[in-house]
Amino acid sequence: MVAGAGAAHAQSYTAEQQSLCTGDAFRLCSSDIPDVDRVTACMVQKRALLSPGCAQFFRGPVAKPVPASLRKPASKARKAKKAARNS
Q: What is the pLDDT of residues 2-36, one digit of tens each?
A: 443 333 334 578 889 999 999 999 999 999 999 98
Q: Identify how many contiguous H helices and E strands the chain contains and give both numbers.
A: 4, 0
Q: Is the pLDDT of residue 81 over 90?
A: no
Q: How far apart are CA 22 and CA 58, in angstroms?
A: 14
Contact residues for 49 (Cβ-Cβ < 8 A; gap 6+) = 24, 28
Write down the pLDDT at residue 4. 37
pLDDT digits (tens, 9 = 90+) for 61-71: 655 555 656 65
Nearest residue to 47 via CA among 66, 24, 72: 24
